[in-house]
Structure 1
Amino acid sequence: MMPELIKTRIELPEMLVLEILLKLHVKSLTRFRCVCKPWYSSFETHHFITKHYQNNLKNSNLNLLFKRCHGDTRDDIHYFSQLSTDKDQNFRVKQTIHLPVFENLVHAPSIYGPCKGILCLGDLGGIGNNVALWNPSNREFKILPQSKVQRPPGLLEFTSINCLGFGYASQTDDFKVVRFVTYYFEENLDEGLLADWTTQVELYSLKNDSWKEIPFPGVHAFASTLFNNYVNGFIYCHAVAVVHHILSFDMVNEKFLTSQLPEFGGTLEQYYLELLDFNGLLGAIFYPREGTDKSFDLWVMNGSWTKQLSVESILGVERPLGFWKNGELFLESSNQELVLFDPSIQELRNLGIHAYKETMHITAYVESLDPLNGRSENEECIIRRPAEGESN
Structure 2
Amino acid sequence: MQGLSKPRSELPEMLVLEILSKLPVKSLTHFRCVCKPWSSSFQTPHFITKHRHNNLKSNNLNVLFKRFNGNTRGDLYYFSQLSTVKGQNFSIEDNIHLPFFEICWYAPVADGPCNGILCLDDGHDKAALWNPSTREFKILPQSSVQRPPLVDSTTFRSLGFGYDSQTDNYKVVRFVVNYFEEDSDAGLMFDQNDQVELYSLKSDSWKEISHPRVVPGDSPPFNSYVNGFYYWQTIRNCDFLILSFDMVNEKFSTLPLPQFGGTLAQYYLHLLDFNGFLGAIIYPREGTDKYFDLWVMNRSWSKTLSIESVPGVERPLGFWKNGELFLESSDHELVLFNPCTRQLKNFGIHDDRETMQTIGYVESLIPINGRSEHEERIIRRPAVGGSN
8 A contact 2:152–2:181 mirrored in 1: yes
2:328 to 329, 332, 353: 332
**How do 1:39-118 residues align onto structure 2 when only pairs under 5 Å count?**
39-71=38-70, 77-118=76-117
Structure 2: gaps (5+ residues): none
Q: Name the CA distance, whole Å, in 2 between partners of 1:314 and 1:75.
A: 36
Structure 1: gaps (5+ residues): none
* Structure 1 SS opposite 2:265: coil
Q: Name the CA distance, whole Å, in 2 between partners of 1:274 and 1:74.
A: 29
Q: Name the CA distance, whole Å, in 2 between partners of 1:386 and 1:376.
A: 18
* 1:344 Cα offset (Å): 0.9
Q: Name the CA distance, whole Å, in 2 between partners of 1:227 and 1:266.
A: 17
In the alignment, what sits opposite 1:175?
170
Q: Name the CA distance, whole Å, in 2 between partners of 1:57 and 1:74.
A: 38
Q: Name the CA distance, whole Å, in 2 between partners of 1:160 and 1:295.
A: 37
In the alignment, what sits opposite 2:189?
194
1:366 to 349, 362, 366: 362
Could you tell me which amino acid in structure 2 is paired with residue 348 of structure 1?
L
In the alignment, what sits opposite 1:269?
265
Question: Structure 1 residues 76, 291: closer, same or farther in 2, change over 3 A?
Answer: farther
**How do 1:1-392 residues align onto structure 2 when only pairs under 5 Å count?**
4=3, 6-71=5-70, 77-124=76-123, 128-157=124-153, 159-226=154-221, 229-242=224-237, 243-389=239-385, 391-392=387-388
Q: Name the CA distance, whole Å, in 2 between partners of 1:74 and 1:374.
A: 27
Q: Name the CA distance, whole Å, in 1 between partners of 2:54 and 2:252.
A: 32
8 A contact 2:272–2:280 mirrored in 1: yes
Q: Name the CA distance, whole Å, in 1 between partners of 2:23 and 2:319.
A: 25
Question: What's the C-alpha RMSD, in Å, of the aligned pairs?
Answer: 1.8
Question: Structure 1 residues 176, 104: closer, same or farther in 2, change over 3 A?
Answer: same
* Structure 2 SS opposite 1:101: helix
8 A contact 1:167–1:234 mirrored in 2: yes
TM-score, normalised via structure 1 length: 0.95
Which is further off, 68-77 or 330-339? Answer: 68-77
8 A contact 2:295–2:301 mirrored in 1: yes
Question: Structure 1 residues 283, 303: closer, same or farther in 2, change over 3 A?
Answer: same
1:305-355 Cα shifts (integer Å, max 9, x gaps) = 110111111111111111101111111111111111110111111111100
User: Identity of counterpart residues, as a percentage?
Assistant: 68
Could you tell me which amino acid in structure 1 is paired with residue 111 of structure 2?
Y
* Structure 2 SS opposite 1:154: coil
Which is further off, 70-79 or 370-379? Answer: 70-79
Q: Name the CA distance, whole Å, in 1 between partners of 2:384 and 2:105.
A: 26
Q: Name the CA distance, whole Å, in 2 between partners of 1:320 and 1:27.
A: 30
Task: Count residues in correspondence.
Answer: 387
* 1:75 Cα offset (Å): 9.8
TM-score, normalised via structure 2 length: 0.96
